Amino acid sequence: GPRFAVFASGSGSNFQAIYDAVRTGRLIGEPVLVVTNKQDAYVVKRAEAVGVETLVLKPTSYSTKDAYEQEILKKLQELQVEWLVLAGYMRLVGNILLDAFPNRIVNIHPSLLPAFPGKDAIGQALKHGVKVTGVTVHLVDAGMDTGPILSQYAVEVVAEDREKTEERIHAVEHELYVKTLQQLWS
């Protein structure tokens, strides 16, 4: 399976699900690096706990997005990374990484795209009052949560219970991401 890096900015529950799937043989691939733009993100602790190397970079320490991504690219090339797996990475991917990994960057988003792109998709869906939302896995292009869709899964909104809906979406994410990567890489 391919050598891949996971990009994350938050809790890293998707990283954990993917890592666990590799460990238990449900996904064939090698998680060789976690990249984050947030020093205090819990995903760093998760990566350290399982012995996956981390790269923590502060975008504001770089004069341009290109310079920031060049630094990431250097590490990715050193480790011979073949695929980028975005899992709650809350930054737009720029040209340096898009050009280096054409059609080799995957993202997960907690809505049925093209509905509710961007931040807090679950909150957006609940606010809008939709009865069904879901999860999308897609290839990354220069847009915000655009790019060819690989898989989707619908989740019913539990009226008056935001927490239940959120829990269900996250559980679906963990299953759908593993399944989609497994298909993509086999």
**Where in the sequence numbering do the catalytic residues fall?**
109
12 touches ligand GAR by CB under 6 A = yes
Mark the segment that binds ligand GAR (CB under 6 A) among 32-40, 46-54, 59-67, 108-116.
108-116
Is residue 18 a contact partner of residue 87, using CB atoms and an 8 Å limit?
Answer: yes
- Residue 42 or 70 having the CB closest to ligand GAR: 42
Strand partners for 31: 4
- Residue 72 or 133 having the CB closest to ligand GAR: 133
- Residue 9 or 70 having the CB closest to ligand GAR: 9
Mark the segment that binds ligand GAR (CB under 6 A) among 9-17, 50-58, 60-68, 152-160.
9-17
Is residue 34 a contact partner of residue 43, using CB atoms and an 8 Å limit?
Answer: yes
Among residues 6, 13, 36, 68, the one that binds ligand GAR under rule CB under 6 A:
13
108 touches ligand GAR by CB under 6 A = yes
Minimum distance from residue 117 beta carbon to ligand GAR (Å): 7
Please identify the residue of the shown chain whose CB is closest to the bound ligand GAR: 88
Distances, alpha carbon 115 to alpha carbons 112, 119, 136, in Å: 6, 12, 10
149 touches ligand GAR by CB under 6 A = no
Is the preceding omega at residue 114 within 30 degrees of 0, hence cis? yes
10 touches ligand GAR by CB under 6 A = yes
Is residue 27 a contact partner of residue 183, using CB atoms and an 8 Å limit?
Answer: no
Which residue stretches of the chain are H helix? 13-23, 42-50, 65-78, 95-100, 121-128, 162-184
- Residue 96 or 106 having the CB closest to ligand GAR: 106
Is residue 117 a contact partner of residue 134, using CB atoms and an 8 Å limit?
Answer: no
Write the single-letter amino acid at 34: V
147 touches ligand GAR by CB under 6 A = no
| Pairwise CA distance, residues 46 & 65, whole Å | 27
44 touches ligand GAR by CB under 6 A = no
Tell me which residues touch ligand GAR (CB under 6 A): 8, 10-14, 87-88, 108-110, 121, 145, 173
